[in-house]
Structure 1
């Protein structure tokens, strides 16, 4: 079973993603509304994939991903953003993000396909 961490300060997004991605029993999912708690868990556990929002309190997703990549340079990460501007995409590419999801999600099938692709299923 693949392990996924989902980090987003919006509880409704965490709930939607967890329920949708859990329905086929392919993933063990940890959710975090606090990015600093997520970082603590990522230091202790190995995740096959991390889904991370960009805009969060305490620390934004870009800074969080930089910290994650310092400890785990090969970590697979998909960013979640309501801001799919070209400069954000370029910034994410520069820190080693694997893919992007834009909020609101247009299709949960697209979300699932990106996740499955990222973990090699």
Structure 2
């Protein structure tokens, strides 16, 4: 990874998760993090090239992560998206891959360092 500051959007209805990720990645110094607790607002904010990566929760009340993913990829087919879920089922993981997700990560995270490593790997790919 270069000295570039990466733009990351985090979409999750759990404000604790949003705060934790934003605080940790902000301290790393390589990331500018924008958080969204509502996936509808997040989808509306997506423009081509705006975010280097979107971390997107699968289970949210306003719109599922899979629905949001579909709309995000429609707007920007090359957008890198990493799905986050505490309720991983094989069919949801396969569907998210089919819909254009770059990767996925399980919640709760084993550690925030592990999440950052996953992010680095996605951004480097």
Instruction: Identify the TM-score tier after normalising by the shorter chain.
Output: over 0.9
Q: Distance in 2 between matches of 1:29 and 1:113?
A: 16
* Aligned residues: CA RMSD: 1.5
Partner SS state of residue 70, structure 2: helix
Q: Distance in 2 between matches of 1:43 and 1:59?
A: 19
Partner SS state of residue 39, structure 1: helix
Stretches of structure 1 that go unaligned for 5 or more consecutive residues are none
Q: Distance in 1 between matches of 2:17 and 2:118?
A: 16
Q: Which residue in 1 is equivalent to 2:25?
A: 21
1:43 Cα offset (Å): 3.4
Runs of 4+ with >6 A deviation? none
TM score, norm. by length of structure 2: 0.91
1:44 Cα offset (Å): 7.5
Stretches of structure 2 that go unaligned for 5 or more consecutive residues are none
Q: Which residue in 1 is equivalent to 2:54?
A: 50
Q: Distance in 2 between matches of 1:65 and 1:77?
A: 8
1:93 Cα offset (Å): 1.1
Q: Distance in 1 between matches of 2:87 and 2:48?
A: 30
2:34 to 23, 26, 30: 30
Between stretches 72-81 and 95-104, larger displacement belongs to: 95-104
TM score, norm. by length of structure 1: 0.94
Q: Deviations over 1:21-42 (max 9, x none)?
A: 1112101110000111111111
Q: Distance in 2 between matches of 1:100 and 1:45?
A: 21
Q: Distance in 1 between matches of 2:102 and 2:81?
A: 5
Alignment of 1:82 with 2:89, yes or no, is no
